Amino acid sequence: MKMQRNFVTFYSPGTMFAETTTKPIDTWNVEEAVRMSRDIVERHGATPYAFRFETHSRGDADLDSQVSAKSPTYYLGGKVETIEEVAARNDPSDQILLSNMRINEWNRIITSTSGYRWSQPLRDTDVVLSI
């Protein structure tokens, strides 16, 4: 008999990398995850900018569970920009961001619009929620 359990991982701005908090959730329910995100506060008061669901599964003969399914990343609002739009701003503070976009071939980014400013590459499968 295969056992499964669903989790939601919240991503908040960190010093070098995202801070994460993972919690169990009954189903991959976006509205419930959005509600749960409002109670997450990381170090320095950082709050989530995104979340992702995972299902962990384990069979009778398995010692540990494994990730059997992952959702796209759901962003809690934010501003989507292309590399052309970031370059057109001609803002010297965007030099590192533009360099990262070019080197890593990120055509689009999303920047959080609430809490700390945090930019991430936006993949085609990602979902930006209207929050």
Asked whether residue 50 falls in the same domain as residue 104, the answer is no
**Claim to verify: residue 44 and residue 85 sit in the same structural domain:** no
Asked whether residue 92 falls in the same domain as residue 61, the answer is no
* Same domain flag for 19 and 38: yes
Q: Are residues 109 and 120 in the same domain?
A: yes
User: Does residue 87 sit in the same domain as residue 30?
Assistant: no
Using DSSP, state whether 117 is helix, strand or coil: coil
Q: Which two tokens stand for residue 112?
A: 């959080």
DSSP 44-77: GG---SEEEEEEEEE-TT-SS-EEEEEPPPEEES
| pLDDT score recorded for residue 1 | 65
**Residues 56 and 88 reside in one and the same domain:** no
46 and 100 in one domain? Answer: no
- Angle CA(111)–CA(95)–CA(41) in degrees, nearest 5? 30
Same domain, 29 and 86: no
Return the sign of the alpha-carbon dihedral for residues 122, 38, 36, 31.
Answer: negative
**Closest Cα to residue 86, out of 75, 67, 76, 101?**
101
Domain count, the chain: 2
- Residue range(s) defining the domain that contains residue 92: 79-129
Question: Considering the entire predicted model, what is its pTM?
Answer: 0.89
Q: Are residues 26 and 11 in the same domain?
A: yes
Give 93-129 pLDDT, tens digit per residue. Answer: 999 999 999 999 999 999 988 778 889 999 999 999 9
With contact defined as beta carbons under 8 Å apart, do 24 and 43 qualify? no
| Statement to judge: residues 18 and 71 lie in one domain | yes
Question: What is the tens place of the pLDDT at every residue in 11-69?
Answer: 999 888 899 999 999 999 999 999 999 999 998 899 999 999 999 998 877 778 888 99
Domain boundary among 76, 91, 116: 76
122 & 94 share domain: yes
Which comes out higher in pLDDT, residue 66 or 7?
7
- Portion of the chain with pLDDT greater than 70, in percent: 99
Last residue of a domain, one of 38, 53, 76: 76
Average pLDDT, the chain: 93
